[in-house]
């Protein structure tokens, strides 16, 4: 259950969703930006003192997306989705490496068995790792094609009893229209699931979103480039957009 005291973290256990896009550096063309990994390591290190348990779900869109592959070069959708899921493994290992180098205890759990590389996802083992203070990185999405890593984040968050999903993106929250195209776009600080749905704000894909709504799991959308944002969100400060 979320804590209530002002000096206590609002959330005891969270799933942090990082899209593959957030890992890419568009300027340098780096697929996995070293600076982003460093920043993530700093953010996660800063959580040690407050004790919030963190499981990270990484996307793979910086490397491959099944749907895009099917459209652009006719890759079979299931094959493409498998390639997409493997992309998340690459990202997850890069993140694991960086977090370990900064002194954090990390475990990678995969939805597709690959014994030599990562542990299989087992719910009770996952919660045990979190209780031991280890950061978890969930890779390979749900293990099923025709899904997204947003869905994996919603699924895992429910499975491990997380209090919230923190969705780190390139934009600092949810706007009523595209802030890159409209100067008068307004950012929501708080929005209900229902309003987000009816206004088609595209917080997550519909399946992931309804899994959160059905289980009353709040989603906080914020910018990856906002330093200290992860800790602020966890402490209950008004950062980004709260969906719930």
Instruction: Render 41-74 in DSSP notation, one character per residue.
Output: HHHHHTTGGGT-EEEEEE--TTT--HHHHHHHH-
**Of these, 142, 156, 220, 234, which contacts ligand UDP (CB under 6 A)?**
142
- To ligand UDP, the closest distance from the beta carbon of 107 in angstroms equals 19
Distance between CA atoms of residues 206 and 218, nearest Å: 15
- x/- map, 61-80, ligand UDP, by CB under 6 A: x---xxx------------x
Distance between CA atoms of residues 63 and 162, nearest Å: 28
Distance between CA atoms of residues 219 and 212, nearest Å: 8
Residue among 12 and 98 whose Cβ is closer to ligand UDP? 98
User: What is the 8-class DSSP label of residue 134?
Assistant: P
Asked if 166 interacts with ligand UDP (CB under 6 A), we say no
Cβ-count burial 26-36 (b if 16+ within 10 Å, e if not): eeeeeebbeeb
- To ligand UDP, the closest distance from the beta carbon of 1 in angstroms equals 28
DSSP three-state, residue 107:
strand
Asked if 158 interacts with ligand UDP (CB under 6 A), we say no
- To ligand UDP, the closest distance from the beta carbon of 20 in angstroms equals 3
Asked if 144 interacts with ligand UDP (CB under 6 A), we say yes
**Of these, 9, 59, 173, 240, which contacts ligand UDP (CB under 6 A)?**
59
Q: How many CA atoms lie within 13 A of 137 on its CB side?
A: 29
Report the 10 Å Cβ neighbour count for 134. 17
- x/- map, 19-58, ligand UDP, by CB under 6 A: xxx-------------------------------------
Binding residues for ligand UDP, rule: CB under 6 A, are: 19-21, 59-61, 65-67, 80-81, 84-85, 87-88, 141-142, 144-145, 147-152
């Amino acid at each position: 259950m979320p804590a209530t005291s002002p000096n206590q973290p609002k959330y005891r256990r969270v799933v942090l969703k990082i899209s593959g896009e957030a890992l890419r550096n568009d300027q340098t063309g780096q697929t996995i930006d070293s600076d982003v990994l460093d920043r993530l390591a700093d953010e996660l290190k800063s959580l040690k003192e407050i004790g919030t348990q963190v499981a990270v779900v990484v996307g793979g869109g910086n490397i491959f997306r099944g749907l895009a592959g099917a459209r652009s070069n006719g890759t079979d959708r299931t094959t493409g989705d498998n390639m997409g899921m493997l992309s998340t493994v690459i990202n997850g290992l890069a993140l694991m490496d960086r977090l370990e180098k900064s002194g954090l205890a990390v475990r990678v759990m995969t939805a597709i068995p690959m014994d030599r590389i990562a542990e299989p996802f087992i719910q009770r083992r996952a919660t045990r790792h979190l209780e031991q203070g280890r950061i978890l990185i969930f890779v390979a999405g749900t293990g099923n094609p025709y899904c997204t890593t947003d869905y994996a984040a919603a699924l895992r968050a429910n499975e491990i009893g997380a209090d919230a999903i923190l969705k780190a993106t390139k934009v600092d929250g949810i706007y009523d229209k595209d802030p890159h195209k409209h100067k008068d776009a307004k950012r929501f600080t708080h929005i209900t699931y229902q309003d987000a749905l009816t206004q088609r704000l595209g917080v997550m894909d519909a399946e992931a979103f309804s899994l959160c709504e059905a289980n009353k799991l709040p989603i906080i959308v914020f910018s990856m480039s906002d330093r200290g944002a992860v800790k602020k969100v966890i402490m209950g400060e008004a950062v980004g957009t709260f969906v719930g």
